[in-house]
Amino acid sequence: METPRFETILVPIDFSEPSAHALRLAASMAEHCRGGHLVAMYANWFEAPPYFTSGRLDELREEFRESLSSAENSLKLFAGSTLGASNGVQVRALEALPADGIRELALLKKPDLIVMGTHGRSGWNRWMLGSVAERVVRESPFPVLTVRSTPPASIRRVLCPVHDTELSRRALKMAVRIGDCFKANLTVLHVVEPSGSNPVSDLGSWIPTGQRGQCSVRDLVRHGDASEEIVRLANEEQFDLIVLGAPQRRFFEGMVLGTTAVRTVRHAHCPVLTVKAGDSESLSVRLETGADSTKLSPEHAGQM
């Protein structure tokens, strides 16, 4: 049975420690899942004060474009210091607001995966992602893997929460294949909520016999609030990765995620991979077949 090929992995960089964490995990995913290449990107936007003269504005725009060129060199240095000199990472710097730039390049590259670091916040009821990461997770049509802290040296324990939907089955397919890539143990979790549906009968039957042999699989049912139980179990058993189907719905002009997905991504300490209904068809096919003076400061890069 073929394992997924993450042929293109897009890694937004803001030159912070979480960005380095994301780049390391992305490189590990590419290495274990049949190769592929990494694209490290940086985006920033020039907006001058309205009281500047036209001549001064032209000068500032030219300085900004030169800084973008320097940013590409900084990206190469950042990748080298994070992964080593022979890393093969492609770099891109864009003139755009960070979230817009990520979306623009993603639509151009059609990555199989976006891996990005995120700056945490504290408290259960507070938003624990930076504004850029929150928007990318919410709006991206491609799978997004968020990384908050130092990633594991290797993914050995994968948690896949499910409920009785096609999206959950798709997320489970992804989790099984990633489990196979890393020879990891997979726990399939269904949480029965007080106001929710009945337990899913025989979670194991969701995984075809040929796929179940790819990695060690455990079925588990818990009762309570879904997001709380997912995060609690992830912390109790120190999972390396959560793979989660994230339903989307349109709210006015934007997209929002389901409550369970939002809370899990906010509060889980381990990396979380969100799989959505609009995710890349190319990946679905593959699943079936198988620091220097020019370095820009994180405060100018936008908080991810």
Q: What is the pLDDT of residues 93-135, one digit of tens each?
A: 988 889 999 999 999 999 999 999 987 554 433 333 467 888 8
- pTM of the entire structure? 0.81
Range of the domain at 254: 8-290
Does residue 24 belong to any structural domain of this protein? Answer: yes
Whether residue 82 contacts residue 28, with contact meaning beta carbons closer than 8 Å, is answered with no
Does residue 2 belong to any structural domain of this protein? Answer: no
Does residue 303 belong to any structural domain of this protein? Answer: no
Does residue 35 belong to any structural domain of this protein? Answer: yes
Between CA 35 and CA 290 the distance in angstroms is: 13
CATH number of the domain that 192 lies in?
A: 3.40.50.12370
Between CA 301 and CA 96 the distance in angstroms is: 11
Residue 199, pLDDT score:
62
The residue written with tokens 């800084």 in the block is 67
Between CA 128 and CA 122 the distance in angstroms is: 6
Q: Mean of the pLDDT values across residues 205-234?
A: 80
Cα angle 257, 262, 263 (rounded to 5 degrees) comes to 155
Strand 241-245 to 248-251 pairing: unpaired
At 196, is the pLDDT very low, low, confident or very high (cuts 50, 70, 90)?
A: low
User: How many percent of the chain have pLDDT more than 90?
Assistant: 36
pLDDT of 192 > 80? The answer is yes
- pLDDT tens for each residue of 245-294: 987 665 445 555 668 888 888 889 899 999 987 554 444 444 444 433 33
CA neighbor of 255 nearest in space, from 167, 141, 98, 109: 141
Q: How far apart are the first and last CA of the chain?
A: 36
Does residue 300 belong to any structural domain of this protein? Answer: no
Q: Mean of the pLDDT values across residues 13-17?
A: 91
Does residue 23 belong to any structural domain of this protein? Answer: yes
In whole numbers, what is the pLDDT of the chain averaged over residues?
79
pLDDT of 184 > 80? The answer is yes
Does residue 296 belong to any structural domain of this protein? Answer: no
Integer CA distances (angstroms), 77 to 31, 124, 228, in order: 21, 36, 40
At 85, is the pLDDT very low, low, confident or very high (cuts 50, 70, 90)?
A: confident
In the chain, DSSP assigns E strands to 8-12, 37-44, 90-95, 113-117, 144-147, 157-161, 185-192, 216-223, 241-245, 248-251, 254-257, 272-275
Q: Mean of the pLDDT values across residues 218-234?
A: 91
Both structure tokens of 145: 């893997």
Does residue 301 belong to any structural domain of this protein? Answer: no
Query: How many domains are contained in the chain?
Result: 1
Residue 124, pLDDT score:
37
